[in-house]
Amino acid sequence: MAERRLRVLVGKPGLDGHDRGAKIIARAFRDAGFEVIYTGLHQTPEQIVAASIQEDVDLIALSILSGAHNTLLPAVYSNLKEKGAEDIMLMAGGVIPEDDIPGLKAAGIAEIFTPGTSTEVIVDWVRTNVHPRA
């Protein structure tokens, strides 16, 4: 039996109204052979986690440009833990200061990609680090 394709939820948490980056990474993931679910703009951490569980994803990839990363990313991870779904990996990209990255990783976010990171680098990281959940 063939291994199932990676399932990735791409989301835009909070009040950030710019989704070009999220659409670019969603397209790159699709082109890499991943199944992609895009939730659209203005999602709460609870909505993101609920959709992730419902869609049985392996990875949540969030795009954040609003400056709310220190609030929203830990809230998503905390909600995953509350729902018993901490085996869903969480990564993010966007305008996130380098100084904030160690704290976010300590809070459970697997990887953070900053502006200028190529889609190839992100796809390669996912292929190396994310595996279909049982």
* Any domain includes 2: no
* Any domain includes 27: yes
Q: Of 89, 30, 87, whose CA–CA distance to 62 is shortest? A: 89
pLDDT digits (tens, 9 = 90+) for 39-74: 988 899 999 999 999 999 999 999 998 888 999 999
C-alpha separations of 69 from 33, 57, 89, 107, 114 in Å: 28, 21, 16, 11, 12
pTM: 0.94
Residues in contact with 72: Cβ distance below 8 Å, sequence separation at least 6, in sequence order: 13, 14, 45, 62, 64
Q: Of 84, 31, 36, 95, whose CA–CA distance to 61 is shortest? A: 36
User: Can you tell me the distance from the alpha carbon of 94 to that of 78, in angstroms, rounded to the nearest whole number?
Assistant: 20
* Any domain includes 134: no
* Any domain includes 1: no
Q: How many domains does the chain have?
A: 1
pLDDT digits (tens, 9 = 90+) for 84-114: 999 999 999 999 999 999 999 999 999 999 9
